[in-house]
Amino acid sequence: MLRPRRILTSRQFFVLFALIALPVAAVAGYSLALGNAFAPWFALLDLAIVAVALRWVWRSGDRYERIVLDGRCLEVHASPSDATVFKAHPYWVRVSAEGDIKAPDRVLLGSQGRTVEIGSFLAPDERSELVARLRSVLAIASGRGQANEH
């Protein structure tokens, strides 16, 4: 199961919004006291935009990719519908990394002319670890790695 890391918990996101809202409200109140009647409306618009942005960031953390592997099939399922986006026999699946091998830009699974990018939301070092782990488990699942084990 691949998921993006969340930097903040939902409670911490709420505290962050409160820490943004308090000074915005204070400046809007001060501006209103000086005669700027539009300051509270601008503050509300500003806070609405910040709230939508924070909500969008939080929801983007709900993404996932589920990789199911057995001896006969490798499947990649992606959110939000958990639909199968890639399916192939493990023997024919190839893992490739674009960019620096220690910090790849993209990780691709390919088989029979079809490719799918996986782990795009992961950090580069996590993608590097993903490449190594996938190559290892694919070798074992396809039987290519068993000759080294005996």
pLDDT tens digits along 36-83: 999 999 999 999 999 999 888 888 888 889 999 887 899 999 988 888
Q: What is the pLDDT of residues 93-131, one digit of tens each?
A: 999 988 887 888 899 999 998 999 998 888 888 999 999
Q: So what's the pLDDT on residue 145? A: 61
Whether the ω angle into residue 124 lies within 30 degrees of 0, i.e. cis, is no
Residue 59 structure tokens: 């929801």
CA dist list (Å): 5 to 42, 64, 113: 33, 11, 31
By C-alpha distance, which of 148, 149, 139 is closest to 90?
139
The verdict on pTM exceeding 0.75 is no
- The CA distance from 53 to 39, in Å, is 21
Kindly tell me if the per-residue pLDDT of 24 is higher than 70: yes
Q: What single letter denotes the amino acid at residue 148? A: N
Structure tokens at 117: 């990018």
Delimit the domains of the chain by residue range: 10-60, 65-149
Q: Name the strand (E) or helix (H) holding 16.
A: helix 10-33
Q: Residue 150: its pLDDT value, please? A: 41
Sheet with 74-78: strands ordered across: 65-69, 74-78, 83-88
Confidence of residue 10 (pLDDT cuts 50, 70, 90): confident
Strand partners, 98: 106
CATH architecture of 65-149: Roll (2.30)
Cβ atoms < 10 Å from Cβ of 78: 17
**How many Cβ atoms from other residues are within 10 Å of residue 148's Cβ?**
8
Three-state DSSP class for residue 149: helix
